[in-house]
Amino acid sequence: MEKNNKPQTNPKETISPADVESLEKKPIVRSKFLPIWIAIVILLGLLAGLFWFFQQQLHTEQLKTAALTENVLSTEQLNHTFRQFEQSVTVDNEATEQRFTELNAANNALLDKVDSLAKAQKLTNDGVLRFWTLAELKFLLQTANQSVLLAGDIDKAQKALELADKQVLSLTDPRLHELRTLIADEKLALASVAQVDVDGLAMQLQSALNKVDDLDVLMGQPFSDQTNNGSANDSSLASTWQMALTKTWQEIKSLVVIRHQQDAAVAVLVPEQRYFLYQNLRLKLESAKLGLLSGREVAFHDNLASTAKWLQQYFIGPERDAMLEMVTEMQSQTIAVDIPDISASLNWLQQYGDQQ
């Protein structure tokens, strides 16, 4: 009761002046820490910026290090390649020096032999030059004869004779006038030989070989399995021996196939057998080409005739017509030529050398 009888104090009366003063000073204390917090925030920002800048610098340094490493590897590879090239050059230089030494030794030996021959025969410089010119002239005439007899190369023989004629002219020796006359006769004989374009004919045959697979084969009518099923409905009405007889007759009819062909030479082949037609045609063309290159005119024309017959008999289409026209035209070509004898000049020069 006494507690309830106590006079209640006013809250305004309980606040002392000291409390009021403390309340007034609190904002002042907070304002003192505000610059510190601002400084801390700025410091943290600077630290973050420095960290970012450090990361960027580190990344840049890593890129530079990688580029430097790549450059170092590339430099090492270039150095290795250069060392290999240097070794190769060294080996080639050694081989070249060895070859040069051998050639120099051979040249010295040849010069010594020429000097010994000159001293033995008491030849002057003009005599030595004449000796070598005659030797070269003999070589050219031998080359011309070998080109004609062994290879059938008229052009090469003509060039060799022209060079030989120039060598005779350079000697200015009246005693060689007969030799030059023989060379002129041989040049005229070679010029009258008919020229055969063997390379062109061989290319045409090779083109035909490349187009063999494009030809169309003339085929007969395909096999047909014709069975008479009309009697199947009436089989139940026939007797047992009639059914057997009818079945036997149908099997016999299936074995006989009648074809009506407008061309009696049609190749009655199934598609799987076309391979043999193509291979046979290719073999004939190859044989004709071989006869052409070997100069056997009989074999060349026989294979062309067989090829034309094979094309007419087993193939059709515009490709066949074009190939047949080419083969027919090629049959009129003459590949065998009469090779003249050009050994007179060589024989005369050998006799002239024996008399010296």
What region, left, alpha or beta, does residue 183 occupy, with left being phi > 0 and alpha being psi -120 to 50 degrees? alpha
pLDDT at 122 over 70: no
Residue-range domain boundaries for the chain: 20-108, 124-193+341-355, 198-226+235-330
Q: For residues 248 and 114, which has the higher predicted lDDT (pLDDT)?
A: 114
pLDDT of residue 164: 93
Q: Is the pLDDT of residue 235 over 60?
A: no
Q: What pLDDT sits at residue 261? A: 43
- Across residues 8-22, what is the average pLDDT? 50
Q: What is the DSSP letter of 237?
A: T
Contact predicate 253/313, CB 8 Å? no
The string of DSSP letters for 116-146 reads: HHHHHHT--HHHHHHHHHHHHHHHHHHHHHH
Is 65 or 136 the better-scoring residue by pLDDT?
136
Q: Does 352 or 347 have the greater pLDDT score?
A: 347
Residue with tokens 């907070």, as numbered in its chain = 30
Cβ partners under 8 Å of residue 44, min gap 6: none
pLDDT at 216 (0 to 100) = 85
Residue range 27-39, pLDDT digits in tens: 444 556 788 888 8
Q: Which residues contact 128 (CB under 8 A, 6 or more apart)?
A: 114, 117, 118
Ranges of H-type helices in 147-176: 154-171
Question: At 181, is the pLDDT very low, low, confident or very high (cuts 50, 70, 90)?
Answer: very high
Q: Are 335 and 198 in contact (CB under 8 A)?
A: yes
Beta-bridged to residue 267, according to DSSP, are 219
Mean pLDDT across 55-79:
83
Lowest mean per-residue pLDDT among 98-107, 132-141, 235-244: 235-244
**Long-range contacts, 306-314 (Cβ 8 Å, 24+):** 307/281, 310/280, 310/281, 310/284, 311/215, 311/281, 312/265, 313/218, 313/265, 313/267, 314/217, 314/218, 314/265, 314/267, 314/277, 314/281
Tell me the average pLDDT of the chain.
76
- Residue where the block lists tokens 């065998």: 336
The more confidently predicted of residues 321 and 246 is 321
Choice between 264 and 143, residue whose per-residue pLDDT is larger? 143
d(CA 275, CA 320) in angstroms, rounded, equals 16
DSSP H helices, the chain, are 2-5, 11-14, 17-121, 125-146, 154-171, 177-191, 198-210, 240-255, 274-294, 297-314, 318-330, 344-355
Residue 95: per-residue pLDDT: 83
Mean pLDDT for 76-94 is: 82
Residue 216 DSSP SS3: strand
Q: Which residues contact 353 (CB under 8 A, 6 or more apart)?
A: 134, 138
From residue 244, alpha-carbon distances to 107, 232, 252 in Å are: 103, 12, 12
356 Cβ contact list (under 8 Å, min separation 6): none
pLDDT band at 247 (very low <50, low <70, confident <90, very high): low
pTM beyond 0.85? no
Most confident of 67-76, 197-206, 343-352: 343-352
Give the mean model confidence (pLDDT) for residues 220-234: 44
Write down how long the chain is: 356
Most trustworthy range by pLDDT among 81-90, 174-183, 286-295: 174-183
